[in-house]
Amino acid sequence: MLLIGAPGAGKGTQSARLQRDYGFAALSSGDLLRRHVAQNTPVGRQAADFMSRGELVPDSLMIRLLVTELASMQEEQDSAGAVPNGAGWLLDGFPRNRVQAESLDKTLAAGESPLNLVVSLNVPDEVILERILSRWVHAPSGRVYNLGYNPPLRSGLDDVTGEPLTQRPDDNADVFRARMRAFRETTEPLLEHYERQGVLVKLHGETSDVIYDQLRQSPPP
């Protein structure tokens, strides 16, 4: 399954709920990159400037990174035996353009793990900007909080670990505009690609609760 949505549309939130409720193994390309940046790895050093400008990281780097991660996620699932409820894996934030989508198609065609659901998350733009500005994250896990409607139990601290929350450096109005532009120009057109494959479901709502209710009722098309 893939989650596709503008920055701030709630991909991370929906992913966390699906993992909690259905046992999906999930991979967020943004979280993965942020871990590389935090650990100052060669990948992190190559990606950091693109991310701070709100631009897409080059495809060659992204594809290598994601295909490797996806393969190891698949291996873990295989060695763990059957996944509860028949759930599979979930990608959030990848693919972001046509080259990445075609590379994912090829990778999946070579394996035994077909894509059977692509969910497009649609939230009004004015709601999204407000969300981005009041979003705090627990960087090591990717857990997301919103000071308005989903605050942490203790101010400034992650509910699970008690560690401090931070704001993403790209969650500011200027970088947000660049991220939104990248989404509209290169990611949104991918929806047609998945519509043609007959796997696309489009969900709309102003809150993650409303969207999650629809998501739970969305069988593969």
Active site residues: 11, 96, 135, 168, 179
Q: Which helix (H) or strand (E) holds 210?
A: helix 208-216
Q: Nearer Cβ to ligand AMP, position 78 or 185?
A: 185
Structure-token match 């709601």, residue found = 127
Sign of the CA dihedral with 47 first, then 53, 58, and 64 last:
positive
Q: Nearer Cβ to ligand AMP, position 182 or 200?
A: 182
Q: Which parts of 39-85 fold into alpha helices (H)? A: 42-53, 59-79
Q: Nearer Cβ to ligand AMP, position 97 or 214?
A: 97
d(CA 55, CA 131): 20
Give the residue nearest to ligand AMP (CB): 30
Residue 94 as a binder of ligand AMP (CB under 6 A): the answer is: yes
- To 5 degrees, how large is the angle CA 30–CA 56–CA 171? 55
Residue 116 Cβ vs ligand AMP, minimum distance, rounded to whole Å? 20
Q: Which of 5, 7, 10, 205 binds ligand AMP (CB under 6 A)?
A: 7
Q: Nearer Cβ to ligand AMP, position 69 or 195?
A: 69
**Pairing verdict, β 89-92 and 25-28:** parallel
Residue 82 Cβ vs ligand AMP, minimum distance, rounded to whole Å? 29
Residue 115 as a binder of ligand AMP (CB under 6 A): the answer is: no
* Other residues' Cβ atoms within 10 Å of the Cβ of residue 34: 22
Residue 16 Cβ vs ligand AMP, minimum distance, rounded to whole Å? 13
Residue 96 as a binder of ligand AMP (CB under 6 A): the answer is: yes
Give the interface segment with ligand AMP, choosing from 37-45, 50-58, 82-90, 190-198 (CB under 6 A).
50-58
Tell which residue, 16, 7, 17, has the closest CA to residue 133. 7
Burial class from Cβ neighbours inside 10 Å (0-12, 13-18, 19+) for residue 28 reads buried
Residue 30 Cβ vs ligand AMP, minimum distance, rounded to whole Å? 2
d(CA 98, CA 193): 8
Residue 47 Cβ vs ligand AMP, minimum distance, rounded to whole Å? 7
Task: By CB under 6 A, name the binding residues for ligand AMP.
Answer: 7, 29-30, 33, 50-51, 54-57, 62, 93-94, 96, 100, 170, 179
